[in-house]
Structure 1
């Protein structure tokens, strides 16, 4: 669009169905590369992607003509199909319904990228449930526990 200028940075978080720890380090990088391709094909700019066996974080520079829900739906659907077609797991893989989306300023990008890159270290100290609730609270997003992800608690 001529004459249209924007600077929109979006941090997307979503989880494996039932928050199962199914994303194996042996193939997670291949999934991240696949998701990167989806985002590029949708003409968005991937800034960072990383996660844990039970969830994923994606930071993008988003164009104003992008619909976040359409992008997330496509990323989840296509990567879900990719994981199943590659038969990385014996069981059927599926992302959980829902996701979190958080906007960031340009000045905070370096900190967000470091945060996403350091997920494995971060989660030695904090669970995903605590992290997700902290994000919701930090961005002052009203929520009810019963509408958050289905949490599988360790026994």
Structure 2
């Protein structure tokens, strides 16, 4: 092949520090475009972003020139800095230390897009902790109940 071709869909999810319900609708209206801009500037195509008060989901195409760990560090750091700079919430805002980033096959994009779009309805029935635990199970990642570490 004379050219490299990639198409790596990522479903990323991360929460506010200690899962505090700080991401109210007025914050989301500023936060989501900011995150979209950050990802786009990194050469990623953003399909959708949505969430609830304590976490967000992002579906995007990963730029193969960028490491997912560097990208998430940049997005989370820049967005929390901007939330604090603009005083969008009364207390200091921070994201949790980690994140989830799961590859999505092309055939599942519509399903994941719908899942992300329906976050408010989804979380009337399930907490973020339950949702994240389900992600871990679906992706074959086991969480150690004693220390919360992920075992592969």
TM-score, normalising length: structure 1 = 0.91
What is residue 9 of structure 2 aligned with on the other side? Answer: 9
Gaps of 5+ in 1: 149-155
- Shift of the alpha carbon at 1:62? 1.1
SS in 1 for 2:18: helix
What is residue 112 of structure 2 aligned with on the other side? Answer: 112
- Shift of the alpha carbon at 1:110? 0.3
What is residue 39 of structure 2 aligned with on the other side? Answer: 39
Whether the 8 Å CA contact 2:42–2:63 is kept in 1: the answer is no
Q: Deviations over 1:13-63 (max 9, x none)?
A: 101001000011122121000000000000101011001110011111112
Moved more, 56-65 or 68-77: 56-65
Query: How do residues 3-152 of structure 1 correspond to structure 2 at under 5 angstroms?
Result: 3-145=3-145, 146-147=147-148
Q: Give the distance between the partners of 2:118 and 2:132, measured in 1 at CA.
A: 15
User: What count of residue pairs does the alignment treat as equivalent?
Assistant: 147
Gaps of 5+ in 2: none
Q: CA RMSD in A?
A: 1.1
TM-score, normalising length: structure 2 = 0.93
- Shift of the alpha carbon at 1:131? 0.4
Whether the 8 Å CA contact 2:18–2:96 is kept in 1: the answer is yes
Q: Give the distance between the partners of 1:30 and 1:51, measured in 2 at CA.
A: 13
